[in-house]
Amino acid sequence: MNIREFRFPDDYAPTLKLWQSIETGVKVGRSDTFEEIQKKVQRDPDLFLLAEHDGQIVGTIIGGYDGRRGMIYHLAVDQSLRKQGIGDMLLSEVEKRLQARGCVKCYLLVFADNERAIHFYENRGWVDMKEDKVFGKEFP
C-alpha cells in the first residue's frame, strides 16, 4: 500500500471507476469529467492523492488550497479494504501537505446522513460547524 500523487491522464479511468463503486459519500458530478479533473490536477498536483495496492487504485482524496482556506473532496476507499487505516493515511497526508502550503483552516462537506464519515472526521479533530450554513452556486 502506498500513497502517491494522481497522474493525469492514466489514473483518470480507474479513479472514476472507484468513485462510481462507492455506495455513499461521493457524488460523481460535473466536476469529475476528464476536462475538469485535468484542470484540478494542473492547479494542485500535490494535493490529489491516491492509495495504491497491488497496482490498483483503492483510495482517493482531493485537496485544494486557494491561499486562504483549504478544501477536501472525494475521500474514498474501496469497500473491500476499509478499516485498515487507508482513509486515515490519505487524510493525514493531505492535511500535512495543506499545512506545508501555509493553510491554517480547512473545510470539507459531508452528506448529513453519512454517519460513518462524520464519526471518522470527528475522531480526527474535525468539527461540525453547526453555526454555519453552506451556500453554493452553480455557474453555467
Ligand X SMILES: CC(C)(COP(=O)(O)OP(=O)(O)OC[C@H]1O[C@@H](n2cnc3c(N)ncnc32)[C@H](O)[C@@H]1OP(=O)(O)O)[C@@H](O)C(=O)NCCC(=O)NCCS
8 interacts with ligand X by CB under 6 A: no
29 interacts with ligand X by CB under 6 A: no
Residue 39: count other Cβ atoms within 10 Å of its Cβ.
11
Pick the piece of the chain touching ligand X (CB under 6 A) from 1-9, 62-70, 117-125, 130-138.
117-125
92 interacts with ligand X by CB under 6 A: no
Residue 111: count other Cβ atoms within 10 Å of its Cβ.
12
What residue ranges bind ligand X (CB under 6 A)? 22, 25-26, 75-77, 82-88, 108, 110, 114, 116-117, 119-120, 123
